A = this chain, B = another copy of it.
Amino acid sequence: MARLADVARAAGVSVATASRALSRPDLVASATRLRVLEAVQQLGFRVNPAARALTSGKTGLLAVCVPTLANPFFAPIIAGAQQTAEAADRHLTVVVTEGSARREGEVLGRLASQVDGFVIVAPQGSDTALLEFGTSTPAVIAERVVPGLASVVIDTPTGLRELVGVLRADSHRRVAYLSGPGGSWMDRLRRAALRESLGEDGELTVIGPLPPTFRAGAEAVSEILDRRVSAVVAYNSLLALGVVFQLHLAGVRTPEQISVASADDLAALGLGAPEISALHFDPAHLGAAAVRVLIQLIIGHEPASSHTRIPAHLQLRSTTGRPPAGGSG
Contacts and interface: CB of A to CB of B under 8 A. Distances in A.
Contact of A69 (B59, B79, B86, B274): B79
A248 B273 CA distance: 14
The listed residue with most B CB atoms (<10 A of its CB), out of A48, A59, A214, A215, is: A214
Given A69-B75, A72-B75, A270 B248 contact: no
A113 interface: yes
Interface in A59-102: 59, 61, 68-72, 74-76, 78-79, 82-83, 86, 91-96
Contacts of A82: 94-96
A268 interface: yes
Given A269-B238, A270-B213, A93 B96 contact: no
A82 B263 CA distance: 29
A40 interface: no
Nearest to A115: B91
Contacts of A242: 270, 273
Contacts of A272: 215
Interface stretch (A27-35, A50-58, A297-305): A50-58
Given A91-B93, A214-B271, 5 more contacts: A72-B72, A74-B75, A213-B270, A215-B271, A245-B274
A48 to B, nearest CB: 7
Given A113-B46, A238-B270, A269-B238, A94 B78 contact: yes
Contacts of A46: 113
Interface of A: 1, 46, 48-51, 53-54, 59, 61, 68-72, 74-76, 78-79, 82-83, 86, 91-96, 113-114, 211-219, 238, 241-242, 245-246, 248-249, 268-274
Instruction: Please state the number of chain copies in the assembly.
Output: 2
Nearest to A1: B113
Contacts of A1: 113
A288 to B, nearest CB: 13
Contact of A54 (B54, B91, B268): B54
Contacts of A246: 273
B69 A96 contact: no
Contact of A48 (B51, B54, B68, B95): B54
B75 A214 contact: no
Contacts of A214: 241, 269-271, 273
Nearest to A72: B72
* Minimum-distance CB pairs A-B, first 10: A213-B270, A50-B53, A215-B270, A70-B268, A215-B273, A218-B273, A69-B75, A69-B79, A75-B75, A91-B93
A219 B269 CA distance: 14
